[in-house]
Amino acid sequence: MTQAFRIPSAGRLDTGRTLDFTFDGKSFTGLEGDTLASALLANGVHLTGRSFKYHRPRGILSAGAEEPNALVGIHRDEARRTPNVRTTIQELYAGLTAVSQNRWPSLSFDVGAISNLGAPFFSAGFYYKTFMWPRAAWERLYEPVIRRTAGLGVAPDKPDPDHYSNRFAHCDVLVIGGGAAGLAAALAAAEKGASVIIADEQAALGGSLRFESGAEIDGRPGWEWAQETKTALRARDNVRVLTRTTGFGYYAHNMLGLVERLTDHLAEPSPEAPRERLWQVRAKRVVLATGAIERHMVFPDNDRPGVMLASAARTYLNHYGVAVGRKVSVYTAEDSAYAAAIDLKKSGTDVLAIVDLRTDPEGALVEQARSLGIDVFAGHAVTGTEGRLRVRRVSISPVSGGPRRELEIDTLLTSSGWTPAVHLFSQSRGKLAFDEENQRFLPGEYVQDAVSVGACNGTSDLAETVAESLRAGETAAKETGAKKRKTVKFEAQASEDWSSGMAGAAPGAKSGSKAMAFVDFQHDVTAKDIRQAVREGMRSIEHVKRFTTTGMATDQGKTSNIHGLAIASEMLGKPIPQVGLTTFRSPYTPVTFGALVGHGRGKLFEPTRRTPIHSWAEAHGAAFEPVGQWERAWYFPQNGEDMHAAVARECHTTRQAAGIFDATTLGKIEVVGPDAARFMELMYTNPWQKLAVGRCRYGVMLREDGFIYDDGVVGRLAEDRFHVTTTTGGAPRVLNHMEDYLQTEFPELKVWLTSTSEQWAVIAVQGPKSRDIIAPFVEDIDISDEAMPHMSVREGRVCGVPARLFRLSFTGERGFEINVPADYGLSVWEAVWAEGQKYGACAYGTETMHVLRAEKGLIIIGQETDGTVTPDDAGLNWAIGKKKTDFVGIRGLQRPDLVAKGRKQLVGLKTTDPKTVLEEGAQVVADPDQPVPMKMIGHVTSSYWSENCGHSIALALIEDGRERMGEKLFVPMPDGVIEVEVTSTVFFDPDGERTNG
């Protein structure tokens, strides 16, 4: 296509550098440096979307981040289909593919537009009031239909193939916004020697200097000054310049969230490049230079394509070299829109009229417009527009009454004034103050160390803006410790001022009017809707907002909030500050989940912890199960075994010969110091003082409330050194629990705690042949039953490396646990495994470990216990030192309800049918014939098939369980009732003969 609206003499783009792109399948050409919006406008395309609710044709309103209308989908490939992209932000690249949204079958003919005819029906709060009956139809019919009809883009249905990045950063001065104000502040702070980060959402710095044709700074045109300043800042090593970077969130302690877009503007991004990078910046001082946002005028049918903001038209002309139309008029209530008319007129565009709501506009701009031959209709309003897919005619009338006049146009520029962008200031919890004279909210009381400069601070004059920003930058640098003497000073001037203009509905959209005068374009909220909300009883602006949904779309009401507020205030007869302002929340503009997630996906979502023996288990076909962050070998299927067969074999082999098990994940804490035994006495229920060096004991740890917290075998290595083991999952919290008590309750004890969980690889060798298997590797330790009985520990060498050898058993067999420094774990395991082969030993996983311990009635924390189980409940009363006067939980254990009858006690259950394996968690009842709801007297905590016993086994917590030995109980299940008998918890080798060899 021809780019018929491109004016070669205007703008800053190189007309020789063209790029091809498509919109809804149609091919167009734009220029390098274009946004999608400017490229479409260069081709005369205004119609870019259909509105959310009424499917009204919509065009490009703005030239920036505030765009409510011109949202499209950008499709790179099957997976990369980004919805709701603002055409005014999306930079053009070769081959860009854009599609319009919320229309069917096409943008120019949209069946959904029929809802425009039903507009009275879709008024404010309609979904709170309609579709209430019949109730069931809401979910099945109304909601799906409304969701399909009303809406924006379509979310991609494939996983996001892009990757995202994160950076933490620190600086003295963080400047948000790279317009004249931000650049001046950054420069002044940098020259003083402060470390500075300056971020701007656009591809180039300069902000409004993009369109302000008359601006001059430091003797140069504003835009040129901005580019030179940016280059100078980039060259400094104390400044980081971030472009395409939006400061979207202002959090506590001057922590700001910035998102940098790295590849969305590229035709062929490198696969190594992240799509976006989240910056989490901690700044000593923040300079907010976020500018102001121009508001549209609220008048009947103000939403037709071709109706746009005056500053946007000026940006397209002065920066992109695009005339937004051929026959243009302006509708304004303030001065700066005159500059748009003047610039367009000078570029050769036909500017028919300036319609000014003010009765007596005056000043240089007004004079200049008149002298250029533009008709100025003072005291007039635009009272209506016509045109289906593009505005083609407007009606204007004198405000004071009089004959209507019609203008044939193709573009109407509107401006009702400028809203300072106080979003981040407000997010920082700063209090806004209402500027009565100019009817606007400005930063009032600051809560964090920040300062606002320029338009977001209500400073409208460029010279004042630059002076204020230089001062702020210099002060920020000084107050954050910068010492250099250099002070930056220069002059600036501009041909125009921004003013606050007027807010609320213009004539023609006043109370009583049935016209569709849009306040919030993106959510299709009209002035009438806001009045209706007030009529229906909404008093607070927060209620008005939720009832009408104004300001709740993806643009967060950047152009609409003040209008909505002014209309509500007029209806309520209260001044604006009394009606209130809705809360500004992050993000300022939409942020992708990808940016927030950053690196944290796939293998970086969560650390996966693996033991030194993991690679061996993998090579030997282990199935793995997650245990907390650990990935543990679950079972080792052989020759096509299923889990049941593999576990049965492993259980059998271990008791017949031996089994080798990777127990590395056990938590280990070394407790060292002269008071180590005293500390252990306080932390565990058991007595420790008399435990001999070289011996081990099973310890039970309680919480203050008397319930079991953790357990594990503890070995005494020396008078002042204990090797404590914890459950795998409990390791971090047990160490914290111990540290907490040591530091807060027992600080007088001379003892220190060090986690050694990862220092040691632990190879458990269990079974009758265990001693024979390890014997060839053990040096310096006598491992005979006499010299090293059950529950003992020795230090020596295994496979030539330093080891801690434990004689203990979690299986009921003779057993050893070899602890070697972790890097040696694999090598020692391989040696033990090779030796084990001679004795018919197998490797076993966590499932077999669970079965073997259950055969012996040994509990697992978190399975038999759930935070409400006392040692007595678990049958562990023997582990409480009866002579002890203090330990954590001792008072808890005396609570009446903990010693009362009727507590649930751990027992064994045997099913009457030996083949039936109960379901863990199943409830147990005494009488299966009682009416529902039955009285549940307990539940199954562990249940397995026991190959060694030849029947199923289960552990359960049952009310007064130990008094019910031999009693028949029942487990009602969906497919029938299972009869069980209460037994001892020990199913195998009840006398424990095997443990001792």
Q: Contact between 799 and another protein (CB under 8 A)? A: yes
Q: Give min distance, CB of 761 to another protein, in A.
A: 8
Across 756-782, b (16+ Cβ under 10 Å) vs e yields bbeebbbbbbbbbbbbbbbeebbeebe
The CA distance from 833 to 16, in Å, is: 73
CB 942 within 8 A of CB 860: yes
Residue 484 makes CB contacts below 8 A (sequence gap 6+) with 191, 192, 193
The CA distance from 97 to 24, in Å, is: 8
The CA distance from 303 to 198, in Å, is: 36
The CA distance from 992 to 997, in Å, is: 9
Angle at 879 between CA 874 and CA 883, to 5 degrees: 130
Q: Which of 310, 494, 666, 751 binds another protein (CB under 8 A)?
A: 751
Q: Quick one: 540 or 608, whose CB is closer to another protein?
A: 608
Instruction: Name the E strands within 689-800.
Output: 696-702, 708-718, 721-726, 752-755, 760-766, 778-779, 792-798
Cβ neighbours of 894 (radius 10 Å): 10
Q: Contact between 599 and another protein (CB under 8 A)? A: yes
Q: Quick one: 270 or 583, whose CB is closer to another protein?
A: 270
Q: Contact between 479 and another protein (CB under 8 A)? A: no
Q: Give min distance, CB of 608 to another protein, in A.
A: 7
* SS3 labels along 446-486: CCCCEEECHHHHCCCCHHHHHHHHHHHHHHHHHHCCCCCCC
Name which of residues 298 to 357 contact another protein (CB under 8 A). none
Interacting stretch for another protein, rule CB under 8 A, among 346-354, 599-607, 655-663, 885-893? 599-607
Residue 837 makes CB contacts below 8 A (sequence gap 6+) with none
The CA distance from 370 to 837, in Å, is: 102
Name which of residues 221 to 280 contact another protein (CB under 8 A). 270, 272-274, 277, 280
Q: Which of 108, 754, 868, 996 binds another protein (CB under 8 A)?
A: 754
Cβ neighbours of 442 (radius 10 Å): 18
Please count the residues of the chain.
997
Q: CA dihedral defined by 905, 911, 915, 921, rounded to 10 degrees?
A: -40
Q: Contact between 168 and another protein (CB under 8 A)? A: yes
Q: Contact between 363 and another protein (CB under 8 A)? A: no
Q: Give min distance, CB of 695 to another protein, in A.
A: 21
Phi and psi, residue 176, nearest 5°: -100, 115
Q: Which of 108, 130, 608, 912 binds another protein (CB under 8 A)?
A: 608
Angle at 934 between CA 933 and CA 936, to 5 degrees: 125
Q: Give min distance, CB of 758 to another protein, in A.
A: 4
Q: Contact between 375 and another protein (CB under 8 A)? A: no
Q: Contact between 627 and another protein (CB under 8 A)? A: no
Q: Quick one: 312 or 798, whose CB is closer to another protein?
A: 798
Closest among 863, 858, 865 to 986, alpha carbons compared? 858
Q: Which of 15, 29, 166, 554 binds another protein (CB under 8 A)?
A: 166
Q: Which two tokens stand for residue 386?
A: 């016509």
Q: Contact between 714 and another protein (CB under 8 A)? A: no
Q: Give min distance, CB of 801 to another protein, in A.
A: 5
Q: Give min distance, CB of 799 to another protein, in A.
A: 4
Q: Quick one: 368 or 759, whose CB is closer to another protein?
A: 759
Q: Which of 444, 626, 776, 990 binds another protein (CB under 8 A)?
A: 776
CB 432 within 8 A of CB 442: yes
From residue 779 to residue 798, what is the string marking binding to another protein with x (rule CB under 8 A)?
-------------------x
- From residue 773, give the alpha-carbon distance in Å to each of 101, 361, 777, 888: 71, 101, 8, 41
Q: Quick one: 195 or 397, whose CB is closer to another protein?
A: 195
CB 198 within 8 A of CB 189: no
Q: Which of 24, 350, 536, 758 binds another protein (CB under 8 A)?
A: 758
Q: Contact between 672 and another protein (CB under 8 A)? A: yes
Q: Give min distance, CB of 756 to another protein, in A.
A: 6
Q: Give min distance, CB of 484 to another protein, in A.
A: 15
The full DSSP string for 162-201 is --EEEEEEEEEEEEE--SHHHHHHHHHHHHTT--EEEE-S
Q: Which of 18, 123, 755, 877 binds another protein (CB under 8 A)?
A: 755
Q: Give min distance, CB of 765 to another protein, in A.
A: 15
CB 664 within 8 A of CB 760: yes
Q: Which of 158, 431, 644, 750 binds another protein (CB under 8 A)?
A: 750
The CA distance from 473 to 193, in Å, is: 11
Q: Give min distance, CB of 775 to another protein, in A.
A: 10
Q: Please, what is the angle between helix 222-235 and helix 180-191, to 10°?
A: 40
Residue 698 burial (10 A CB sphere; 0-12, 13-18, 19+): middle
Interacting stretch for another protein, rule CB under 8 A, among 73-81, 204-212, 758-766, 946-954? 758-766
Q: Quick one: 164 or 970, whose CB is closer to another protein?
A: 164
Q: What is the DSSP letter of 289?
A: -
Q: Contact between 777 and another protein (CB under 8 A)? A: yes
Q: Contact between 800 and another protein (CB under 8 A)? A: yes
Q: Quick one: 563 or 737, whose CB is closer to another protein?
A: 737
Q: Quick one: 504 or 825, whose CB is closer to another protein?
A: 825
The CA distance from 306 to 409, in Å, is: 9
DSSP-derived pairing of the beta strands 350-356 and 327-332? parallel
Q: Give min distance, CB of 176 to another protein, in A.
A: 20
Interacting stretch for another protein, rule CB under 8 A, among 151-159, 488-496, 753-761, 786-794? 753-761
Q: Contact between 801 and another protein (CB under 8 A)? A: yes
Q: Contact between 679 and another protein (CB under 8 A)? A: no
Name which of residues 811 to 850 contact another protein (CB under 8 A). 820-828, 831
Interacting stretch for another protein, rule CB under 8 A, among 90-98, 503-511, 557-565, 752-760? 752-760
Q: Quick one: 153 or 836, whose CB is closer to another protein?
A: 836
What is the size of the binding site for another protein (CB under 8 A)? 58
DSSP-derived pairing of the beta strands 801-807 and 815-821? antiparallel
Q: Which of 483, 603, 882, 883 binds another protein (CB under 8 A)?
A: 603
Q: Contact between 600 and another protein (CB under 8 A)? A: yes
Alpha helices, H only, 203-329: 222-235, 310-318
The CA distance from 47 to 57, in Å, is: 7
Q: Quick one: 776 or 867, whose CB is closer to another protein?
A: 776
Q: Give min distance, CB of 277 to another protein, in A.
A: 8
Q: Which two tokens stand for residue 231?
A: 């280059």
Q: Quick one: 606 or 866, whose CB is closer to another protein?
A: 606
Interacting stretch for another protein, rule CB under 8 A, among 48-56, 649-657, 745-753, 957-965? 745-753
Q: 765 pairs with which residues across the strands?
A: 660, 816
101 residue type, one letter: Q
Phi and psi, residue 535, nearest 5°: -60, -30
What is the Cα 21 distance to its own chain's centre? 33
365 residue type, one letter: L
Q: Contact between 892 and another protein (CB under 8 A)? A: no
Q: Contact between 194 and another protein (CB under 8 A)? A: no
Q: Give min distance, CB of 96 to another protein, in A.
A: 22
From residue 269 to residue 308, what is the string marking binding to another protein with x (rule CB under 8 A)?
-x-xxx--x--x-x--------------------------
Binding site for another protein (CB under 8 A): 163, 165-170, 195, 270, 272-274, 277, 280, 282, 599-600, 603-604, 606-612, 629-630, 670, 672-674, 750-752, 754-760, 776-777, 798-801, 820-828, 831
